[in-house]
Amino acid sequence: MPQVTNRSRKWLAFNSVFLVVLLTMANSFSFSADKPKPETIRAVAMGTGTQMGQNGNVTLTIFDFSTPDDQQALIEAFQKGQSEGLADALSKMKAVGRCEMVRTKGYDVSFIRMIPTANGRQIRFLTNRQLRNAEVATNSHTRAFDLTAGEINLDDNDKKKSTGFIYPAAQLVINKDGEFQFKLNQNSWNLINILDFK
C-alpha cells in the first residue's frame, strides 16, 4: 500500500474542496438555467359598467408558469366540486406569481399559463380571491365569487396594441350549452398601458 505523505494529503484535500466547489457551482448553474427569471407586467385597470371612471395600477409578477399537470388538476377539481372545488385546489397549489391590484394588499397567484400567439403571447392567470372581513362577518352572497381571473395579450410587434382584462370577483360555471364561463359579481376591468419587464 503506498504511503500518504503530507504533500499528497494537502493535494487530496485541495482536490476534495475543489470538487465540492465545482459541483456546487454546477448545481447552481443548472438550477438557475431551469428556473426562469421573474417577469413583471404592469398595467392600468379601467373600470367598466358600474365601475366606469375608476382606475388603478395592476402589477403581475410571474415567478414561473404552471405545468400541464397543474391545469389537469384544476379541471378535475372543477369536475368534482364545481367552482368551490376549483378554489380549494388553487389554495393547495404553490404560488407561481403575485398580483398587486387596486384596493388590495396584493396576493399570491396559484395558476399562470402562457400561450404563444401570432403577434406575441397570451398570459392567463387564476387564483383565489381575498375575501374582505365584512363579507365573512355578514356571510355575504359575494363569498361565492371566490376567484380572481385575468388575461393579458402581449403584442411584441406593437406594445400599444397589448390588451387585457381582470375579473376581480368571479366564479366558474358551466352554461346551458355546456361551456365554461365566468360569472361575475360586478363588471370586468380592462387593462391598458401594458408594460412587460422580463
* Confidence grade of residue 9 (pLDDT, cut at 50, 70, 90): very low
Q: Do 106 and 31 belong together in one domain?
A: no
The arithmetic mean of pLDDT across residues 147-155, rounded, is 94
Q: Do 144 and 52 belong together in one domain?
A: yes
Distances (CA, A) of 94 to 35, 40, 125, 132, 197: 15, 18, 14, 22, 23
Q: Do 83 and 118 belong together in one domain?
A: yes
Q: Do 61 and 138 belong together in one domain?
A: yes
Is the pLDDT score of 11 beyond 60?
no
Rounded-to-integer distance, Cα 55 and Cα 160, Å: 18
Give me the phi and psi of 133, to 5 degrees please: -55, -40
Q: Do 119 and 74 belong together in one domain?
A: yes
Q: Do 127 and 61 belong together in one domain?
A: yes
Range of the domain at 16: 1-35
Q: Do 19 and 102 belong together in one domain?
A: no
Q: Which three cell numbers stand for residue 24?
A: 456546487
Is the pLDDT score of 119 beyond 80?
yes
Domain count, the chain: 2
Q: Do 118 and 166 belong together in one domain?
A: yes
* Confidence grade of residue 25 (pLDDT, cut at 50, 70, 90): very low
Q: Do 118 and 173 belong together in one domain?
A: yes
Q: Do 156 and 59 belong together in one domain?
A: yes
* pTM exceeds 0.85: no
Quick: pLDDT tens for 56-76: 899 999 999 999 999 899 989
Q: Do 61 and 149 belong together in one domain?
A: yes
Give me the pLDDT at residue 174, please.
Answer: 73
Is the pLDDT score of 111 beyond 90?
yes
Quick: pLDDT tens for 161-187: 999 999 988 888 877 776 668 888 888
Give the β-pairing of 189-197 and 39-47. Answer: antiparallel
Is the pLDDT score of 146 beyond 80?
yes
Q: Do 101 and 3 belong together in one domain?
A: no
